[in-house]
Chain A
Amino acid sequence: MELTEDEEKSLNGEHGEALQIAYRILSATGEATDAEKLVPIHWAHVSGVNYNTIGDAGEEFLATLSKSAKFKVRTTVNPMGYDKDSVEKFGLDENFIQKQESIKKSYKKMGVTPSFSCIPYEVYDMPQEGTQVAFAETNAAIYANSIGKLKTNKESAFSALASAITGKSPYSDLRKDDSPTMSIAMKVSEPNELTFGLLGYFAGKVADKSVAISGVKNLDKRCSKSLCASMGTSGTCGKFVLDDNSDVSEKVDFDEKEMQKVYDELNTAESGDLITLGSPQLGLEEMNDLASMLKGRAFKKRCLIFCPRAIQEQARHLGYAGQLESAGCELMSDCCTCLTPLVTKKDVDSVTTNSIKGAYYLKNSNGLDVNLKPLSEIVRDETS
């Protein structure tokens, strides 16, 4: 990868340690993806905020980095471990809270917009089509490319952080050529958001960087978020296009049989002790919709709902938050189902959710069994 004279100086440490680290990361990712140069990006979204995932090494790294690093472009951040308003209900130890607060402080010091959300595309206005951004959170990167028509690679926590500090990213992969190399024919009829989650998980496993999906006319918000999140979990694919006439040579079917295989891999329980909704976090439209579905009903079990703080505030003004709470839901902001330290084996054995991404991490990171159901069935079976 060709660097300008100034970029070369930064890589050699002439502009300080933070920039040197950032350019070291961008050089490696640029080499790995055969980039010729760096290009400016206009928005970075970083992951690596939850102490549960980045641990002591991550916390210490960010504390050191924040002494000299400053974000050059608008930078939003992923969810952290808890919602300060309800953290005392969950029995997290002092060390966790102290370390999480330190991480928050480091990001603030570097100049972050404190969004603590995995759905920046529903919290902020999206820039013009074709704008180069650097989104780490996988569901957000896939959503930005596929629905928002922005340009980002499926960034890592460090590559997005390096882009936030430098305002640049290697010009390669999806930034350069995002044409699909495979087409998947959706053969399952009457799909819901769980079906699209299963499709996404399958697509992530078989597709390379970009995939065409045929046989899907429309995707509502819930289904598209589910598809983006599960696709990001199982593979390296960073973009999909709905296209019935794609001329790629490699074509595969996603039928009932393939769907069942993915379901059997991820569904490990007949029912859950607790319900979690929101991985990705719920947006305003989904909160409104859920409030309508729950009219006159109440959950028989504990139900945690994860949403961005900005959206919880709007939902409160509009009355949805109150309606959801009347139906027994607990609203949580700044955190998410995925990689949550709040749902553990100490309290429950199994969780019911409609999120494939949530299921993967609840099982692999939290060690819990998961009961997967679409939202309509969760409401039917778990409320009265």
Chain B
Amino acid sequence: MTLKTIVRGKVTGKVVKSNQPINFLGSVDKKTGAITDQKHDLFGKKIAGSILVFPNGIGSSVGAYTIYSLKSNNSAPAAMACQKVDLTVASGCALANIPLFILSPDEYASMKDGDDVSLG
């Protein structure tokens, strides 16, 4: 199904999808998992427990700590799935043990916000 598995795991959940990249440091509340960047298309949404589908991570290298903190605060997505994986998302998910997948272009396009999916 998926193009590549970066962090292994089996998950089922609801898709929260963004078409914009995410800077985890600048735009995600590490306690609640809420998207705080008003200009982001996920603004106001919570990513906790979701299958977070987004193109890729951008920006600060410290975003990896945000991902780890989300897990420690029980506010992390159940899994993440991206078009391409940057080092911040890969390392954050590896340490936090959040399943992480790279999707094929078709698969990425077919996943819709609110879909129930199984990965891994």
- Show the binding face of A for B, using Cβ within 8 Å: 21, 24-25, 27-29, 31-33, 47-48, 50, 53-58, 60-61, 136-138, 141, 153-160, 162, 204, 232-236, 265, 339, 360-361, 364-365
Q: Indicate whether B56 reaches chain A with its CB closer than 8 angstroms.
A: yes
Instruction: Return chain B residues, CB-CB under 8 Å to A361.
Output: 25-26
Contact A234 B59 (CB under 8 A): yes
Instruction: Return chain A residues, CB-CB under 8 Å to B87.
Output: 29, 32-33, 153-156, 159
Chain B: interface size category: 35 or more
Contact A156 B92 (CB under 8 A): yes
Segment at the A interface, from B10-18, B65-73, B111-119? B65-73
- The dominant DSSP class at the A interface is helix
Contact B26 A57 (CB under 8 A): no
The 7 closest A-B pairs by CB, nearest first: A28-B94, A57-B72, A158-B91, A32-B85, A32-B90, A156-B88, A136-B61
Instruction: Return chain A residues, CB-CB under 8 Å to B102.
Output: 32
| Pairs across A and B, CB under 8 Å, 13 listed | A47-B61, A47-B62, A55-B69, A57-B68, A153-B87, A156-B91, A156-B92, A157-B63, A157-B88, A158-B65, A158-B91, A234-B59, A236-B21
Q: Shortest CB–CB separation between residue A327 and chain B, in angstroms? A: 32
Q: How far is the CA of A365 from the CA of B23 in the complex (A)?
A: 11
Instruction: Return chain A residues, CB-CB under 8 Å to B66.
Output: 53
Q: Indicate whether B46 reaches chain A with its CB closer than 8 angstroms.
A: no
Contact A28 B64 (CB under 8 A): no
Cβ 8 A contact of B62, one of A53, A57, A364: A53
Contact B60 A138 (CB under 8 A): yes
Q: Shortest CB–CB separation between residue B26 and chain A, in angstroms? A: 4
Q: How far is the CA of A352 from the CA of B36 in the complex (A)?
A: 22
Instruction: Return chain A residues, CB-CB under 8 Å to B85.
Output: 32-33
| Chain B: CB-nearest residue to A173 | B87
Q: How far is the CA of A252 from the CA of B17 in the complex (A)?
A: 28
Q: How far is the CA of A265 from the CA of B88 in the complex (A)?
A: 24
| Chain B: CB-nearest residue to A45 | B61
Q: How far is the CA of A157 from the CA of B60 in the complex (A)?
A: 9
